[in-house]
Amino acid sequence: MSHLLTVSPSPHTKSDEIIPKIMRSVIVALIPVMVLSAIFFGLHSLRIMLAAVLACVFFEYSIQKFILKVPPTVRDGSAVITGLLLAFNLPAGLPVGLIVLGSLVAIGIAKLSFGGLGQNPFNPALVGRVFLLISFPVQMTTWTANITAADSFTGATPLGLLKEGIKSGKSLATLAGDAQIPGYLDMFWGNMSGSLGEISAVAIILGGVYLLWKKIITWHIPAAVLGSIFIFEGILWLIAPDRFMDPVFHLITGGVMLGAFFMATDLTTSPMTPLGKIIFGVGIGVITMCIRNFGAYPEGISFAILIMNGFTPLINAKIKPKRFGGK
């Protein structure tokens, strides 16, 4: 033999599930959402996704290379995912300039200023989205009509209609009868107004099941988010059905599905232990429903996830796994 033997401590074998492979699986899981969004929004959706992905990759590469002067890590695929998730949280008519700005905030501020992949306390795509929502509220809530809607409704989201309706004193019964709120089956498929990737519960659940099957996420966070929303809203609805929509409406509208399966489950910004994940998910569900029912915004899951991201270090510090055989 012409070389020396390698000596290192055990283990001497390694799972091939390393970061680039995990990121590829996440991208695969996002395909159903991309397809459904392309079906419902047509070329708009491709324009937004392309702009966000290219901008995120560009900013990650150039900030790392020219400002931070560290080896760029775009090959790990995480910037592509941030770009896609940001795009999924944007309305289809958003100008490219704002998409680029949102990408800069997501990658530059929320991710790289904290040290890059694994170091960011808040979900980068959501930081980008919330930055845009607060800075450009009009553009961010101007919903392009869904191209499949033959009767071309105005484009307000079901949650927006609900909030406006309640503010103007309409009863839920009239609102529900209002033709502008699509039927539940339509909403389940995604035939409604909303951000690119949040409309189709079917596509999101398909991708989520893939993530669960590939063991990239565990069931704890999605179950806790969806379960707590169902129970919380269910209780309100049972007490006052004239003031609160039913829990199914809240599960399939807005960003709940996308948030529960793809945003809240972000590995870096969610807790480490199963119990911690459940607490985190319940927190998201409850905060979301408080914002939706009692807040000024029609939708609140982005805020809820970011708030619980902030609690993640505290949850990790306090919720410890029970040692084997321990009391």
Partner 1 sequence: MLKTFKLGGIHPQGEKLTAAMAIQPLQLPKEVVLPIAQHIGAPSTVVVKKGDLVKTGSVIALSSSPVSSNLHSPVSGKVVKIEESLDASGFKKKSVVIETEGDVWEDSISRDFPQTNFENLSSAAILEKIREAGIVGMGGASFPTHVKLEIPAGMKVDTLLINGVECEPFLTSDHRLMLEHGEEILKGTTLLMKVLNVEKAILGIEINKPDAILLLNKLAKNYPGIEVEALQIKYPQGSEKQLIQAMTGRLVAPGALPASVGVIVQNVGTAYAVYEAVAKNKPLIERVVTVTGKGLSNPGNFLVRIGTPISDLIKAAGGLPENTGKVIIGGPMMGKAIANLNIPVTKGMSGIVLLPVEAAARLNDVPCIRCARCVEGCPMNLEPYLLMALSEKGLWERAEAGHITDCMECGSCSYTCPSCRPVLDYIRSGKSQVGKIIQSRRNSASTDINTSIKPAIPE
- Residues 6 or more apart from 173 whose CB is under 8 A from it? 242
- Residues 6 or more apart from 45 whose CB is under 8 A from it? 34, 37, 38, 87, 92, 196
- Binding to partner 1 (CB under 8 A) within 101-130 occurs at 115-119
CB 112 within 8 A of CB 60: yes
Residues of 92-121 as b/e, b for ≥16 C-beta within 10 angstroms?
bebeeebbbbbbbbbbbbbbbeeebbeebe
- Binding to partner 1 (CB under 8 A) within 59-98 occurs at 73, 76
Task: For residue 4, state whether it binds partner 1 (rule: CB under 8 A).
Answer: yes
By beta-carbon proximity to partner 1, the closer residue of 13 and 152 is 13
Number of neighbouring beta carbons within 10 Å of residue 4? 6
The rounded distance, in Å, linking the Cα atoms of 317 and 322 is 14
Q: Which amino acid is at 243?
A: R
- Binding to partner 1 (CB under 8 A) within 199-228 occurs at 218
Residue of 12, 151, 169, 177 that binds partner 1 (CB under 8 A): 12
By beta-carbon proximity to partner 1, the closer residue of 70 and 176 is 70
Please calculate the CA angle 245-251-255 and round it to the nearest 5 degrees: 115
User: What is the smallest separation between the CB atom of 125 and partner 1, expressed in angstroms?
Assistant: 15
User: What is the smallest separation between the CB atom of 49 and partner 1, expressed in angstroms?
Assistant: 24
Residue of 18, 28, 70, 235 that binds partner 1 (CB under 8 A): 18
User: What is the smallest separation between the CB atom of 306 and partner 1, expressed in angstroms?
Assistant: 17
Task: For residue 310, state whether it binds partner 1 (rule: CB under 8 A).
Answer: no
Task: Provide the binding-site residues for partner 1, judged by CB under 8 A.
Answer: 1-15, 17-19, 21-22, 73, 76, 115-119, 218, 267-268, 271-273, 316, 320-327
